[in-house]
Structure 1
Amino acid sequence: MDEDRQINTQELLEKYDKEYHYRQKLGKWGWIVAFLGVSLTLFHLYTGFFGTFQTQIQGAVHLGTALGIIFLLFPARKGWHRKQTTVPWYDILLAFIALYVVYHKIIFFDELLQNRISGYSFFDTIVSIIGILLVLEATRRTVGIPIIIVASIAILYTIFGKYIPTQLLSHPGFAIERIANYLWYRESGVFGTPIQISAKFIFLFLFFGVVLVQTGIGKFFNDLAFALTGRFTGGTAKAAVAASALQGMVSGSSVGNTVASGSFTIPMMKNAGFKPAFAAATEASASTGGQIMPPLMGAAAFIMMEYIGVPYSTIMLAALIPALLYFTGIFMGTHFEAKKQGIFGLPKSQLPPLKKIMVRYGYMLLPLIIIIVTLLSGFTPQRAALFGIGSAYLVSFVRKESRLNLRQTVKMFEQGARVALPVIAAVATAGIIAGVISMTGLGSKFAAGIIALAGETLILALFFTMIACIVLGMGLPTTANYVVTATIAAPALINEFGLTAIAVHMFVFYFGIVADITPPVCLAAYAGAGIARANPFKTGVIAVKLAIAAFIIPYIFVYNPILVLVDVAPIPLIIAIATALIGMMAVSSAMIGFFVRTMNMFERIILFLAGIMLITPQKAIDIVGIVMIGAMWFWQKRRPDGDQRLSAKNREEVKL
């Protein structure tokens, strides 16, 4: 237990999350990083309140300042962030070049607009080529190499498309200067929709999350979760799920949330009797779900708002029921595992008192409530984020322990920029990929390929899209993955099969996220396994079992969009939610292998099918599912029990 608590969370974050590979010692350049970071945060607060600049200018300030900070903060190679005692000269040079080539768009804004008609100069072309290369290098440093490979292949495809033998993917090809100018100066490339949404909305919401963390809301969420669920069967695991859901919707980082919450919850789960791999998988799957948990969700949700052309409140409400089902599945999975292993809740003496917590710290929920009310009232996401930031900062003054002095406030402003750096770099590179798709017509080609491969069968088209999302998600951050799949695959599903836009976009969004827990590349599961000292691959397999809802629900709401609140009526919606929750209970039970008693394979298959029938919002199928679950309950009640629970000795062995 003590050994588990002493786990170095920073080492785990550095191992599994590229964004933590920043320099520990900056020397005098630390002041420059702080100045640029605080300036970037103040710029977004100013434009959020008074209105944004023209999109190209807003995006240039957003990306240019971020690139300057990245080259000063992140070293060229892994491991150098601990060794270097200051910023080397070549990174200082790259930082200032990056600042210039991006701010070049602002300095010569009117001329560049005119050059769209008359043609770009040789110097403009050189600037665009350098700018694209610096974006790719900054992304490599902050996010990792896989996304760079995808972007590089996309650019090479644009140049050498005429040499591709298959007619489906070939195209005439483009000159390098035309590609560079298109991707750098047009609205379909680096400075396209992803970077524009990042500059308008995403940065402010990421900063809101930083403000909440600084006020100590993470500890409050943990205490609240344990007070609510700790006394029930398998209480430590259920508390971990609840705490991760609350923290995840603020942080939006699967790996970061797994390590932050898991360093506390995983040892407690192991001590209660859960096996190490199961404890790690519980934390990883719950933390990953934070990106689909309203009100904040992941950064990609804000880009989805722009792609579909609906208010963010619509996205938030559409995500509510699927997120509820996702966490219900994990919650029930931990319940049945606890019943199977004979793991009970914590005694009341070991739990924080709920009433005392709410009386003393309940005010910390105010910023989240303000965000939700503001969004649902029809205000813009920018205004909602500003209200949330302001209220979070003000409530920090309620108690001395959370009160921020001037130094801490300045540090918080700098941290707001630091947190956003990987997202900014990722969406800029995603813009490159999206620009290539636009230039070459790859989207329509890919759509034609999916339809041809699926034989115009919807279920096959969805399956192939799911595989593409998961494979891309193994190398791309969720935001970049969503941009690519929403640009390539979503239009095919919407146009060819007549599906609802929001259901399709939520479909690709979901499967991009679950890549974080899907073997073999399941970084959140690996991080959890590092804390639990468990087998990483086994942890990933268990995480998939617990998060099975994420693999089922998207298919259901594509076929029947009532679960994403499209064409709903109150009574059918209530029935759909109730039956879906019961269905998730049955599916989770089947995945764990325990219902009333431990189940054999035949019983698990029957209960799994019954659960699927109930999740599908169709009355006749729901009735069949309920009958099957009832029959299984009656059958298991009559079957002899046997020794299904761990002895005290075995539970001690599990702890070890």
Structure 2
Amino acid sequence: MFGAVAETAQKQARTVLFLAVSLYALYNYWQPGFPLSERAALALLAVTAFFVSMQPRNWLAGAFQVAHLLLGFAVFGYIILNAHELPYREGIPNSTDIMVGIAGVYLILVAVKACLGSGLAAVTAIFLLYLFFGQHLPVWLGGHRGFSLERIISFLYLNDAGIMGFAMSACLKYMALFLILGKVLQQVGAMDFVMGLSRSLFGTGRTGPPLMAVMSSALVGTVSGSTMGNVYISGNMTIPLMRRVGIRRELAAAIEAAASSGGQIMPPVMGFAVFLMIVLLDVAYVDVIVAALIPATLYFLVLGFGVWLRIRHMEAPGQPHAVKTGHDQPSVTSALLHPGLVTFLCALGVLVYLLANRNPLQTSVMIAMAACLTVSLPWRVRITPRKLFQALVDSGRELVDVAIACLALGIIAGTVLLTGLGTKLPALMIDWSTGNLPLLLICSFLACIVLGLGIPSSLAYMLVALLISHAIVQLGVELLDAHLFVFYAALAAMITPPVALAAYAAASIAKSDYWTTGWLAAALGMPKYLVPFAFIFRPQLLMRGSVLEILAVSALTLVGLAAVSLGLTGIRNPTVSALAARVCLVIGGTLVSVPPLDEAYVLAFGTALCMIGIAPLLLRVRRRA
């Protein structure tokens, strides 16, 4: 009897806390607070909701759970109460600051391990070890001058560049609102329309849900312009469908992460980094949109091909392809007649209009949310108080996992910023590449990824664009091309471990191992690493040239990228001959898709390698079929 009452009370408390997390994010939009205090308040709500929702295995685990719950109140409550004083004590913390800061780092490691698994906790611990002992490494391996305990704890805990840094700010200001928007879109039928249209086009077999994830992410990306928003909006529907047809958790999350990472490269929205580009270059918004169209299309086409290939021929070759998902396949006509089309187009139209007129991203999301709620009223998918309540609770539930991940990212980012790792390595790479365009491009790409560990992708783009794009232009590259290259490189950090925010978000939905998810997403998202190099050497991909040239170059690049995808997809095959064939495909496809078209011998060599690599694979696929 007592156990049932306790379980009911825990369930109700969990629901109230999840609701409070969402409501606080909405309240913060209207009444933002002091940066440290508002982020600490979100962290306190998230950690409290997480530990309250845990089911202890025994009385000892329950005692630790209560202790961690109380420790969360102490750690984050201390920041809230002293938010205005703590920044002035950075570098000269008192004994209480140090003790509470150490407890905070410990609490975050515990929460991350319990919530997201050992992978992220281990990566966070490695960065902490580097922060404490990196002075013993040589400079060329990233060695730093060393820091005292007081300096480390004060930087991580007392200011807004560490634990309470950009990751928590992005979680509160942007991720939360996009997550709530995604749940609202679900409740008013917009995502039912997207998924119905995807099912009508791709079917409901084993390859259907993964391809639905790719298509839905492309469609949602036209509205959200956000990788994280894309994951939350489409992943909540596509990942469970992929799991239903037998796709393992890590692969399902990786497919969604790779697909959603195309959200910021898919016109027309493309995220707020594009507006930084417009200001820096003084170009028209439409010019950037037109230039970005073919690269984004290539990305999703090759991603869809790689996903289809992995699922149908590599992931489960002995299982039947016609697997039921529990959903009938609708016709295209019935999908287009779904009332969710109205709410989807409303969200798309409002976001495009507001962002095109340079309205703040938060304001645009809130207005789009209000518009969706309003236009749904005359239809059968209308919003009701129960639906709105459920949307807020579901949003809060997922925001808890994301907030805990962002706390860990704060430790990683603080390490990168304090040690100077984010600027030290890029500077070395630029020195190594003097006068060599391909090498400079590679160094620039790596610099963006390294910077992406410490700051948001849009800021990483801006810094590298200011520091490196001029050098790229001096070597003969158009200014817009150079900035788009840096833009793609900065966004690649979203699926590149150890940070890989998109993989974190998808893994939290799928309850999968983040580390495996991140590397799978990076492999599937291969076009994001190659496409920017391709359009630097082939400006036809940016809509420069005649129609025939643009079509021919796009087709050639697509074939090369598809060959690389084919080589990477089946890399798990253990035979030596199959491995050699795939190496030929990866190298040959890269040579076909990236180098300048005037280097005919390179194209010929790459084509030959592709033909050598594809022959045995086609024979193997035919035998399997």
User: For the residues of structure 1 that align with 2:554 and 2:240, how far apart are their CA atoms?
Assistant: 31
User: In structure 1, what is the equivalent of residue 128 of structure 2?
Assistant: 155
For the residue of structure 2 that corresponds to 1:110, the secondary structure is coil
For the residue of structure 2 that corresponds to 1:378, the secondary structure is coil
Matched, 1:549 2:523: no
Label 1:303 to 1:373 Cα distance change in 2 as closer, same or farther (>3 A). closer
Label 1:603 to 1:437 Cα distance change in 2 as closer, same or farther (>3 A). closer
Letter in 2 for 1:44: A
Q: Does the CA contact (< 8 Å) of 1:562 and 1:573 recur in 2?
A: no
Matched, 1:213 2:186: yes
User: In structure 2, what is the equivalent of residue 107 of structure 1?
Assistant: 81
User: In structure 2, what is the equivalent of residue 186 of structure 1?
Assistant: 159
Of 354, 358, 378 in structure 1, the residue corresponding to residue 336 of structure 2 is 358
Label 1:586 to 1:114 Cα distance change in 2 as closer, same or farther (>3 A). closer
Of 2, 11, 19 in structure 2, the residue corresponding to residue 38 of structure 1 is 19
Deviation at 1:344, TM superposition (A): 13
Deviations 1:347-395 (A, max 9, x none): xxx8523233222332131223322332222111101111232233345
Matched, 1:124 2:106: no
Q: Does the CA contact (< 8 Å) of 1:286 and 1:330 recur in 2?
A: no
User: In structure 2, what is the equivalent of residue 64 of structure 1?
Assistant: 44
Matched, 1:293 2:275: no
Of 476, 491, 495 in structure 2, the residue corresponding to residue 513 of structure 1 is 495
Q: Does the CA contact (< 8 Å) of 1:244 and 1:290 recur in 2?
A: yes
Unmatched 5+ stretches in structure 2: 1-5, 222-226, 315-319, 323-327, 473-481, 568-579, 612-617
- The count of corresponding residues between Structure 1 and Structure 2 is 561
User: For the residues of structure 2 that align with 1:437 and 1:308, how far apart are their CA atoms?
Assistant: 29
User: For the residues of structure 2 that align with 1:148 and 1:257, how far apart are their CA atoms?
Assistant: 27
Deviation at 1:504, TM superposition (A): 3.0
User: In structure 1, what is the equivalent of residue 348 of structure 2?
Assistant: 368
Deviation at 1:621, TM superposition (A): 6.3
User: In structure 1, what is the equivalent of residue 562 of structure 2?
Assistant: 588
Deviation at 1:180, TM superposition (A): 0.9
Deviations 1:80-122 (A, max 9, x none): 6xx57999343233223313422322322333355459x4332
User: For the residues of structure 2 that align with 1:383 and 1:422, how far apart are their CA atoms?
Assistant: 24
Deviations 1:579-607 (A, max 9, x none): 335521454268659xxxxxxx9999799
Matched, 1:412 2:391: yes
Label 1:399 to 1:162 Cα distance change in 2 as closer, same or farther (>3 A). same
User: For the residues of structure 2 that align with 1:459 and 1:26, how far apart are their CA atoms?
Assistant: 61
Label 1:241 to 1:506 Cα distance change in 2 as closer, same or farther (>3 A). closer
For the residue of structure 2 that corresponds to 1:187, the secondary structure is coil
User: For the residues of structure 2 that align with 1:148 and 1:314, how far apart are their CA atoms?
Assistant: 43
Matched, 1:438 2:417: yes
Unmatched 5+ stretches in structure 1: 1-24, 268-275, 473-478, 531-536, 594-600, 634-641, 652-656
Q: Does the CA contact (< 8 Å) of 2:98 and 2:150 recur in 1?
A: yes
User: For the residues of structure 2 that align with 1:178 and 1:543, how far apart are their CA atoms?
Assistant: 36
TM-score (norm 1): 0.66
Deviations 1:217-268 (A, max 9, x none): 444223212434669xx9898666424644687551698666324246x58x
Label 1:51 to 1:579 Cα distance change in 2 as closer, same or farther (>3 A). farther
Label 1:173 to 1:281 Cα distance change in 2 as closer, same or farther (>3 A). closer
Deviation at 1:127, TM superposition (A): 2.0
User: For the residues of structure 1 that align with 2:158 and 2:238, how far apart are their CA atoms?
Assistant: 39
Label 1:644 to 1:236 Cα distance change in 2 as closer, same or farther (>3 A). farther
Label 1:172 to 1:306 Cα distance change in 2 as closer, same or farther (>3 A). farther
Deviations 1:456-481 (A, max 9, x none): 866457668879999x9xxxxxx985
User: In structure 1, what is the equivalent of residue 476 of structure 2?
Assistant: none
Q: Does the CA contact (< 8 Å) of 2:377 and 2:383 recur in 1?
A: yes
Label 1:643 to 1:281 Cα distance change in 2 as closer, same or farther (>3 A). same
Label 1:46 to 1:502 Cα distance change in 2 as closer, same or farther (>3 A). farther
TM-score (norm 2): 0.69
Matched, 1:177 2:150: yes
Letter in 2 for 1:513: I
Letter in 1 for 2:20: S
For the residue of structure 2 that corresponds to 1:252, the secondary structure is helix
Identity of aligned residues (%): 21
For the residue of structure 1 that corresponds to 2:261, the secondary structure is helix
Q: Does the CA contact (< 8 Å) of 1:610 and 1:624 recur in 2?
A: no
Of 201, 226, 243 in structure 1, the residue corresponding to residue 174 of structure 2 is 201
Q: Does the CA contact (< 8 Å) of 1:40 and 1:62 recur in 2?
A: yes
Q: Does the CA contact (< 8 Å) of 1:430 and 1:483 recur in 2?
A: no
